[in-house]
C-alpha cells in the first residue's frame, strides 16, 4: 500500500494540528519552529490551538574541515551544547571551539534579526514547548535543538513533525516528553519524498508567517 503524501507544508501542518488537538487552548503552550521549512507547518499548528509562534534557530558546530562531524550546536538565545566525547577523541582545542562557536553565533544572530526583528525571544522556562519541523530524517538537527531547549528549563518538550523516519523517532524519543507525527514510513529515504510541493520556504515567507501569527494570537 502506498502511503499518501502531503500536498505542501501548510496541509501537513493542519494534519499535524489534529494530532496535537489535546494541547489546543491550554495556557503555557508555545510553538517553536525550526526555520525555514518548519515555519509553515508550525504556523498551522499555532493557529489551530491559539498558541504563540516563534522560531528556534539551531546551527551545528562542525569540526573545521570535517563539518559533517558536530562538536555541538548553538541555538537562539545564545544557548550552546558541546559533544565532549567527540571533542576529547579528536583532541580539539578550546581556540578552535571558540572560533567555530563565534562564527555560528553570528549566523544565529543574523537569522534572529531577520526573522524576529526587535521582538525578544520567548521565555520558555516552565512552559510546554511544541517543537516543530517539516520532517525528521536523521534527527540530528532536532536532537541539537532539543538539547539547546532543555538548557532553558521548559516544563515539557513535545517534538512534532508531519513525517518521520522510524529510526529518527527512536533517537529522539528518550530525549523528550513526547514525539508526535502523522506518518512514519518504513522506507523513508528523505523528508521531501513525502511532499508533493517541497520547494524551499523563502525568508520573506518565514517573516510574514511569524508576523501574521503574532498579530493573530490572543492570550
Structural domain of residue 151, as residue ranges?
Answer: 9-58+117-216
Alpha carbons within 13 A on the beta-carbon side of 77? 18
Q: In this model, does residue 115 exceed pLDDT 70?
A: yes
Residues 6+ apart with CB under 8 A from 169: 136, 139, 179, 181, 184
Residue 23 corresponds to which cell in the numbers above?
494541547
Residue 52 lies in a domain: yes
Residue 102 lies in a domain: no
Helix (H, G, I), strand (E, B) or coil at 100: helix
Burial class of 168 by CB neighbour count within 10 A (0 to 12, 13 to 18, 19+): buried
Q: In this model, does residue 79 exceed pLDDT 80?
A: no
Burial class of 135 by CB neighbour count within 10 A (0 to 12, 13 to 18, 19+): buried
Average pLDDT over residues 104-116: 89
Mean per-residue pLDDT over the chain, rounded: 91
Burial class of 156 by CB neighbour count within 10 A (0 to 12, 13 to 18, 19+): middle
Alpha-carbon span 147 to 75, nearest angstrom = 9
Name the pTM for this structure.
0.88
Residue 79 lies in a domain: no
Residue 184 corresponds to which cell in the numbers above?
512514519
Q: What is the pLDDT of residues 11-52, one digit of tens each?
A: 999 999 999 999 998 999 999 999 999 999 999 999 999 999
Give me the CATH number covering residue 200.
Answer: 3.40.50.2020
* b/e map 8-34, b = 16+ CB within 10 Å: bbebbbbbbbeebeebeeeeebbbbbb
Residue 190 lies in a domain: yes
Q: pLDDT value at position 2? A: 55
- Provide DSSP, 130-146: EEE-S-BSS-HHHHHHH
Residue 4 lies in a domain: no
Residue 110 lies in a domain: no
Residue 92 lies in a domain: no
Nearest alpha carbon to residue 127 among 60, 30, 61, 205: 30
How many distinct structural domains can be found in the chain? 1
Q: What is the pLDDT of residues 126-184, one digit of tens each?
A: 999 999 999 999 888 898 899 889 989 999 999 999 999 999 999 999 999 999 999 99
Residue 161's DSSP bridge partners are 181
Residue 123 lies in a domain: yes
Q: In this model, does residue 1 exceed pLDDT 50?
A: no
Amino acid at each position: 500500500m502506498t502511503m499518501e503524501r502531503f500536498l505542501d507544508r501548510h496541509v501537513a501542518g493542519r494534519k499535524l494540528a489534529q494530532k496535537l488537538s489535546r494541547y489546543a487552548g491550554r495556557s503555557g503552550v508555545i510553538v517553536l519552529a525550526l526555520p525555514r521549512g518548519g515555519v509553515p507547518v508550525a504556523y498551522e499548528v499555532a493557529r489551530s490551538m491559539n498558541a504563540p509562534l516563534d522560531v528556534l534557530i539551531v546551527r551545528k558546530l562542525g569540526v573545521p574541515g570535517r563539518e559533517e562531524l558536530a562538536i555541538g550546536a548553538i541555538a537562539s538565545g545564545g544557548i550552546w551544547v558541546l559533544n565532549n566525547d567527540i571533542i576529547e577523541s579528536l583532541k580539539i582545542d578550546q581556540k578552535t571551539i571558540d572560533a567555530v562557536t563565534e562564527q555560528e553565533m553570528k549566523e544565529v544572530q543574523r537569522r534572529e534579526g531577520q526573522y524576529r526583528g526587535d521582538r525578544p525571544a520567548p521565555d520558555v522556562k516552565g512552559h510546554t514547548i511544541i517543537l516543530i519541523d517539516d520532517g525528521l530524517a536523521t534527527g540530528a538537527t532536532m536532537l541539537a535543538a532539543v538539547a539547546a531547549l532543555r538548557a532553558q528549563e521548559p516544563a515539557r518538550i513535545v517534538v512534532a513533525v508531519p513525517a518521520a523516519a522510524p529510526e529518527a523517532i527512536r533517537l529522539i524519543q528518550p530525549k523528550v516528553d513526547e514525539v508526535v507525527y502523522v506518518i512514519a514510513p518504513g522506507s523513508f529515504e528523505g523528508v521531501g519524498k513525502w511532499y508533493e510541493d517541497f520547494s524551499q520556504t523563502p525568508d520573506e515567507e518565514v517573516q510574514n508567517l511569524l508576523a501574521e501569527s503574532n498579530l493573530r494570537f490572543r492570550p
